[in-house]
Amino acid sequence: MKSSLSPTAQIDPMQNRFEASDAVKILSALSQPSRLEIFRLLVRYLPYGLAAGDVARLLAVPHNTLSTHLTLLEQAGLVLSRREGRSIIYAANRNRALQLSAFLLEDCCRMTQQPCDVSALTGAALPFPAKRESFMSQTIYNVLILCTGNSARSIMAEAILNREGAGRIRAFSAGSQPRDVPNPHALILLKDLGYDTDGFRSKSWNEFAAQGAPKMDFIITVCDSAAGESCPFWPGHPLVAHWGIPDPAAVNGTDAEKRAAFMEAYRRLGARISAFVNLDIETLDLSTLKHRLEDIGAMDGATPMAAQWKAAAKLDPARMS
């Protein structure tokens, strides 16, 4: 399929001239927090891109607001777009970001007699990514997401991962001390974002350690308390990672303030899951895969314990398996 780029997004990856005005336009576009999040999300989905609806859902950004942000990012050359059926697919323009980096570091490179060759940085990149092919792997990876109460963060992560990893990843969630029912704020947010919430329930992690339970390939904790507890024995030695983020249910205040906390948790989980589903799990060796999981856990918004997990894993590699 040929890519049809929007007129504002036709950036020559080999252009030799990058002016200060280009840098100002790019930095201005990225100075707004939502636009920065959108660009970073699209970077994680290179080389395929995302439909506008998927971007809105993953970042919980209203469609009309998203349209404005995407237009400004396109005008700055940071985003490329094409029509695919009824959808418009957006992708980060890797070349443009590399040009900005080279421009900002140009004088530094000259001082060290190592000129920044923009063409060398960008020349191998495609002007627009190819269409994502359907998953061809015969392997379905099982992922168990854990939190103490299995009522909010783990429920949201299960929902996001099952949608984003459909055809390749099957997600489950559980807790060490499950609540009676999932948190209503989590369910309302998921339902508003188009998820089917009928089947969600809070359940014990013992269900997944029992005989006949699905064999897990990955165990991911999303709250610090669950990460610090003694887990059941997981058959098959799955890889273990900690992606701790603050508990939105701990926020007191108005309903609007509580919803904002759940939306923030949703965005942070979405960022981690979007990075995870784009890993080449089939081709990465075990050591590299462990490091990638550690890097994901230390992404923006990580709890102090999650941020320290990577360093701790280097000292004790056994905790990652």
- Among all residues, which ones are annotated catalytic? 147, 223, 231
Give the CA distances from residue 102 to residues 44, 77, 106, 292, 303, in Å, rounded to whole numbers and listed in that order.
Answer: 21, 16, 6, 26, 33
Contact call for residues 93 and 11 (beta carbons, < 8 A): yes
C-alpha–C-alpha distance, residues 119 and 261, integer Å = 43
Per the CB < 8 A criterion, the answer to whether 185 and 152 are in contact is yes
- Across the beta sheet with 169-174, what order do the strands follow? 169-174, 141-146, 218-221, 239-242
Strand 50-51: give its sheet, edge to edge: 50-51, 87-92, 79-84
Q: What letters, b where the CB count within 10 A reaches 16 and e where it falls short, cover 258-296? A: bbebbbbbbbbbbbbbbbbbbeebeeeeeeebbebbbeb
Distance (Å, whole) CA 92 – CA 82? 12
> Is the N-terminal amide bond of 47 cis, ω within 30° of 0?
yes
Q: For residues 37 and 69, what is the distance between their CA atoms, to the nearest angstrom?
A: 10
Q: Of 165, 169, 82, 96, nearest to 131 (Cα)?
A: 82
